[in-house]
Structure formats: structure tokens, C-alpha cells
Amino acid sequence: QKETMIKAERATTDKRVQAIIDLKNEVCGDTDKKFILVNQHGIDPLSLDMLQKAGIVGIRRAKRRNMERIPLACGGYAVNSVRDLSAECLGKAGHVYEHELN
């Protein structure tokens, strides 16, 4: 019974990841545009692998304040559920990079 629950949870997670991949394909098509997913919580390794294979950069454990700043800088808005994802909620950035403060 435990294995059945684990398989069901994995299937649900895979559906959510596939919905994100489908949105990326819908929005970016065959262009060289990049797609970045910013998440306040963790992203499990299997899901990160699926996202990476689809050309999506997954940023996990983003701080709340950064989640408030990103829409101000790029447009778009944060959503709480994969069901709420649409092309209208996405922002745009000309250049994305990581800067580590010591």
C-alpha cells in the first residue's frame, strides 16, 4: 500500500512538471528563448532533471523577498498553483545571472 501511495504521488508530481514543460513549449516554441522557474519551496531531483531536459532552469528555495522583487523587475506575477499558470503570468528578462554575496 505504501508503494502505491508513492507511485501516485510521483505521478501527480510528474503531471505538474509536464504542465510547466507544456507551457514552456507553448510560449517559447522552437525559438532559442530560455525559461526559468523560480520556486519558494524545494524541487525534487527527478523533477529538476525533467525540467533540465526540457531546457528549463529550476531555481528552488527562493526567499519571499526575492519572489516579491522578481515581478517588479521582470513583469508577470507569482502563482500558487500549476493550474494557475498561463502565458499572461510570465515576465521577461533580457539577461539572467546569479550573483553570490559573501
Query: What confidence tens digit (pLDDT) does each residue in 36-53 have?
Result: 888 888 899 999 999 999
pLDDT at residue 12, as a whole number: 92
pLDDT at residue 31, as a whole number: 80
Average pLDDT over residues 42-65: 90
Query: d(Cα 7, Cα 64) in Å, to the nearest integer?
Result: 31
Cell numbers 508577470: residue? 76
Rg, C-alpha atoms of the chain: 15
- Please check whether residue 69 is in contact with residue 89, taking contact to mean a CB–CB distance below 8 angstroms: no
User: Please, which pLDDT band fits residue 15 given cuts at 50, 70 and 90?
Assistant: very high
Percentage of the chain surpassing pLDDT 90?
31
Grid coordinates of 35: 525559461
User: Please, which pLDDT band fits residue 33 given cuts at 50, 70 and 90?
Assistant: confident
The answer to whether the predicted template modeling score (pTM) of the entire model surpasses 0.75 is yes
User: For 44, phi and psi rounded to 5 degrees?
Assistant: -70, 155
Query: d(Cα 42, Cα 66) in Å, to the nearest integer?
Result: 15
Please determine, for residue 71, whether its predicted confidence score (pLDDT) is greater than 80: yes
pLDDT at residue 28, as a whole number: 86
